[in-house]
Amino acid sequence: MLATLARVATVRRSGLRPGPGSRRGLWTGRPQADTDNVKPLEGVKILDLTRVLAGPFATMNLGDLGAEVIKVERPGAGDDTRTWGPPFVGTESTYFLSVNRNKKSIAVNIKDPNGVKIIKELAAICDVFVENYVPGKLSALGLGYADIDRIAPHVVYCSITGYGQTGPLSQRAGYDAVASAVSGLMHITGPEDGDPVRPGVAMTDLATGLYACGAIMAGLIQRYKTGKGLFIDCNLLSSQVACLTQVAGNYLIARKEAKRWGTAHGSIVPYQAFKTKDGYLVVGAGNNMQFATVCKILNLPELIDDCKYKTNHLRVQNRKELIRILSARFEEAMTSEWLHRFEGSGVPYGPINNMKNVFAEPQVLHNDLIMEMKHPTVGKISVPVSFGGCNSAHNKTPSQSPFPAFSCHFLILLGVTMFFLESLII
């Protein structure tokens, strides 16, 4: 029965057309009359076997861009993050809601042969397969890349792991805080003379999710060119090491060991948070002209031509004395006063906002970063949202079922009876 459904769905699937030479790929035919209402990834189907953050963040971004995302969860429990709280909205974890909009949910027991069959049938009608299991686990169940490639060679298969497919750490579970420690991010995060600090959000997970998202879209373009799917290996450790950028470069090229700088920067002065009478202001002077402007705004013109501060290199060498002078001046006025004085100066600056102030920030409101969406059980909720530069008005239109209630789409997707459903997922 499922095989029949797969064949029918393949014929009927919307938004995909054969590419050049009848190769399977993203539709690139003549423009339709109503192109303003077409999202970039409309017609792309994604089978999402990921949990927690990195994978769900990647697939949510693809869903925001129009892809149809089918989220596969464990029967009875679902994604771990459904229970991560408080806070909860009704019975829903706000953590889960933050990375799982624009998805459909089904519960499948992939340890059962019938569950494996369901996943394979779904993979056959999807374009992308995303998973974040420890390497080898899905292969042992018959759902590894080789297994899916055998039945669906068109699929772009993305595996997100903690440390990679092979190597001494490959069998370890990957959590953001641990990966950020091993990768060196924690070593460079925190107060200059204090302990290592975990970043306020899971930046290693989020960076990995963004790398995966970009790789998947590149994979779809590659498939359009070749007619074949491919395997993507994305992991937390590699993503975070890649994001060390100039800190890694300082060590690899100049053998300079990294350290923690608090809010400051190791190579640019001044570039940090300064305490004001009632809060904090972050100011960055990346060149001599900006430094001179900062000095004028602070009414410290004598610093501009001081031989100790004439270049950034000298300012870095004499960091402590210069920061002491600037800090004393910033503490003389309220944050709002400094914001007024720096307005229009050409110097990068801004307050350290709490969440209340973030979502009252005029530029945040102007950029449409808050979307009101309807949850099937708790009603309207607000979420932070960005569409990666796709600013057409249609991209701000939520889907009809933006948040997946646990396993609520199984019958819709497979068109099977309740008896059949229970026999396969329990």
- Output the six-digit token pair for 277: 């009478």
Name the H helices within 102-244.
113-124, 137-141, 145-151, 176-182, 203-226, 236-242
Strands 24-26 and 45-49: unpaired
**Whether the bond into 376 is cis, omega within 30 of 0:** no
Which 8-state DSSP code applies to residue 75?
Answer: T
Q: Is 195 marked active-site?
A: no
Alpha-carbon span 380 to 397, nearest angstrom: 14
Kind and range of the H or E element at 400?
none
Return the closest-CA partner of residue 130 out of 51, 23, 238: 51
Q: Rounded CA gap, 234 and 251, in Å?
A: 24
Q: Residue 270, preceding bond cis, omega within 30 degrees?
A: yes
User: Peptide bond before 87: cis, by omega within 30 degrees of 0?
Assistant: yes
Determine the Cα–Cα distance for residues 385 and 234; give it in Å rounded to an integer: 24
Q: Say which amino acid occupies 327.
A: S
Length of the chain: 426
Return d(Cα 163, Cα 170) in angstroms, integer: 5
CA distance 297 to 301: 9
> Which position among 112, 205, 233, 368 bears the catalytic label?
205
Radius of gyration of the chain (CA): 25
Q: Is the peptide bond before 362 cis (omega within 30 degrees of 0)?
A: no
Query: How do 370-375 and 349-351 pair as beta strands?
Result: unpaired
Q: Between β-strands 156-161 and 128-131, what pairing exists: parallel, antiparallel or unpaired?
A: parallel
Angle at 213 (CA atoms; ends 211, 215), nearest 5 degrees: 65
Positions marked active-site: 205
